[in-house]
Structure 1
Amino acid sequence: MDPTRLLPPLPGRPSDGHKGTFGRVLLAAGSRGMSGAAVLAALGALRSGSGLVRLAVPRSLVPVVASVEPACLVLPLSEDAAGTTGLGGLVTLRRAAAQATAVAIGPGWGQGMALEVLAETLYVELDRPLVVDADGINALAVSRRVFAAGENRPRPAGPRVLTPHPGEMARILGTDIASVENDRESQARALALRTGAVIVLKGAATVVTDGDRLIVNSTGNSGLATGGSGDVLTGLIAGLLAQGLPVLDAAWLGVYLHGLAADLAAAELSESGLIASDLPDWIPAAWCELEARSAEHCEN
């Protein structure tokens, strides 16, 4: 069967829609030396169809990221001596999150105690969908409170998506990568049931699960095994959440689109020649293919 028959409905595009109709994304990302991760996440969100994308980065990064993509709004945050977001950024992020319909944190964020506090506070407090990736996951894994079993675990105020690669998954679970890779579906399902989050366990045949339903993705290729590809995925999922898709649907559709964009790109560029910054340019072609298949299925 054509796997697109099983995909969730695509987000609507009413002809009289405006920026607010299609959702507002807030991305907290980037640190000194990692501005590219922030930009890639923003490009993924922009290509999702979201109406507005705001990228919150340490103040010193603003000129860099603002010059790369003019369609993205840039929000400066206080930073520490290492060039990562400082605790003072929490007030700014809370204020900006109140205006967003979905939030993502973590790509290129760096490490440090301030980020651990920021990650846990936002994870628990935000009442809107939140995607946590990369250094956001690493920050949560340090205290382990949000991954704890039983009643001591803090309950988040809104829907959550966690997008670990196998190394990050091993860190969360306190195990090794081989153990994760040997039982990917069970490990992802168990973490989803423990946390109440949708888990996107990245890798060949990415697993997406809410603990009940489980999907093994059929798109993508080895060209995705390159730095920054996961940042694009984070932005893409956040953008779909911002448009009002249910959490599992947004994660599943984002993973499928991301992989399809890689497949279309590799057909022209090769899997070896594909890099993360190619992916946003191929997401529109992936949308076109999905929309064409969707229209065909409706006719049939």
Structure 2
Amino acid sequence: MERTHRKEEGGVALPRLQQRKTNSHKGDYGRVLAVGGSPGMSGSISLTGVASLRCGAGLTTIASPKSVQPLVAQVEPSCMTLALPEDRHGLLPMHSRDAITKAAKNSDVVAIGPGLGRSHGLDLLIQDLYCDLSTPMVVDADALNALGSRENPLAGPGGPRVLTPHPGEFRRLAHDRELPKGRWTDVAADMAKRNGVVLVLKGHRTTVTDGERVYSNETGNPGMATAGAGDVLTGVIAALLGQGIPAFEAAQLGVYLHGLAGDLAAKAIGSDGLIASDLLDYLESAFQQHRRRR
């Protein structure tokens, strides 16, 4: 029996991927709004946007500060772009909220955080969007750090939320509470359950929990410890959410396929020099392999 047929940790089985219908159109596969980027960090949100398309999103719009938008637009012509207001440092200010909210109303999922940078205005913006938008949202990178500045970082989500912290970001979300080795999952499960969100603890054997279920991923390799790999994961999960897969299952399947793409890339080109854009090239192969095993 193939490994993907078995129940995983906590008795959680991997979801199936639905076949595309013959008479479908791009609107059937989700509209992703990817919000992020700042001077010097346009690549982060670009990886997220391209990853969402590689994972089946019908339409992806990358929304970034207006000075960054021309750089983002050159990365992948299949992605649409939206230029947002910026402050004197090239970061998104609080008053970019209206433009983001308007774009989110025409989207099935929002992916926010990669390459945003940090400022007081950004903290307020992210906190406001997290609480007020009903659109499903994947929260990563600097958006997580913005939430970490709140008294209760994960409280009051306006809709389905998947948060994807690495260990440092998770410590900030947990307000540096004691995290005994081997017990991080328990703390994450408690936080997820109390706030009604899904947490993805990135690292060796990435863990996904909604407080009731726990999934420990078995794909991935050390070559994926590279800048931008997490930005790709954000796009993968966003694409699956946008196609109507529930938050926990989208996160679970997203980390599995992301890791599998990394394994396929490492097998083909090695792991020592693997970079995040290599993962994009192997996402479709990961999807097809998962379909065959199912």
Q: TM-score, normalised to structure 1's length? A: 0.92
Match of 1:209 in 2: 209
The residue correspondences of 1:154-173 to structure 2 (distance < 5 A) are: 155-173=156-174
**Residue 24, structure 1, aligned to residue 25, structure 2:** no
Secondary structure of 2:179 counterpart: helix
When the two structures are aligned, how many residues end up with a matched partner? 287
Aligned-partner Cα distance in 2 for 1:191–1:44 = 28
**Residue 120, structure 1, aligned to residue 121, structure 2:** no
Match of 1:275 in 2: 275
Q: 1:220 to 1:7 in 2, by over 3 A?
A: same
**Residue 145, structure 1, aligned to residue 146, structure 2:** no
Q: Provide Cα deviations, 1:125-146, integer angstroms capped at 9, x if missing partner.
A: 1112111001000001112334
Q: Provide Cα deviations, 1:67-112, integer angstroms capped at 9, x if missing partner.
A: 1100000000001111111222111000000000011110111000
Secondary structure of 1:114 counterpart: helix
Aligned-partner Cα distance in 1 for 2:192–2:235 = 21
Match of 2:186 in 1: 186
Aligned counterpart in structure 1 of residue 92 of structure 2, from 80, 85, 94: 85
Higher helix share: 1
Aligned-partner Cα distance in 2 for 1:3–1:286 = 14
The offset of 1:185, in angstroms, is 1.7
Secondary structure of 1:68 counterpart: coil
Cα contact 2:33–2:60 (8 A) shared by 1:
yes
Cα contact 1:66–1:72 (8 A) shared by 2:
yes
Aligned counterpart in structure 2 of residue 42 of structure 1, from 33, 37, 49: 49
Quote the RMSD (CA, aligned, Å). 1.4
Please, which moves more after superposition, 114-123 or 259-268? 114-123
Aligned-partner Cα distance in 1 for 2:37–2:232 = 13
The offset of 1:205, in angstroms, is 0.1
Aligned-partner Cα distance in 2 for 1:146–1:12 = 38
**Matched AA of 2:179:** S
**Residue 292, structure 1, aligned to residue 292, structure 2:** yes
Aligned-partner Cα distance in 2 for 1:281–1:223 = 15
The offset of 1:181, in angstroms, is 4.7
Q: Provide Cα deviations, 1:249-269, integer angstroms capped at 9, x if missing partner.
A: 100010000000000000011
Aligned-partner Cα distance in 1 for 2:34–2:17 = 22
Aligned-partner Cα distance in 2 for 1:139–1:185 = 22
**Matched AA of 2:138:** V
Q: Which runs of 5+ in 2 are unaligned?
A: 6-12
Aligned-partner Cα distance in 1 for 2:24–2:193 = 37
Cα contact 1:124–1:156 (8 A) shared by 2:
yes
Aligned-partner Cα distance in 2 for 1:129–1:43 = 19
Aligned-partner Cα distance in 2 for 1:29–1:52 = 17
Q: 1:255 to 1:247 in 2, by over 3 A?
A: same
Aligned counterpart in structure 2 of residue 55 of structure 1, from 47, 53, 62: 62
Which 4+ residue blocks in structure 1 deviate beyond 4 angstroms? Answer: none
Aligned-partner Cα distance in 2 for 1:198–1:39 = 24
Cα contact 1:146–1:195 (8 A) shared by 2:
no
Secondary structure of 2:200 counterpart: strand
**Matched AA of 2:29:** F
Aligned-partner Cα distance in 2 for 1:145–1:105 = 19
* Percent sequence identity over aligned pairs: 48
Match of 1:265 in 2: 265
The offset of 1:292, in angstroms, is 1.3
Aligned counterpart in structure 2 of residue 7 of structure 1, from 14, 20, 30: 14
The offset of 1:167, in angstroms, is 0.4
Q: 1:144 to 1:235 in 2, by over 3 A?
A: farther
Q: 1:80 to 1:180 in 2, by over 3 A?
A: farther
Match of 1:133 in 2: 140
Cα contact 1:125–1:156 (8 A) shared by 2:
yes
**Matched AA of 2:145:** N
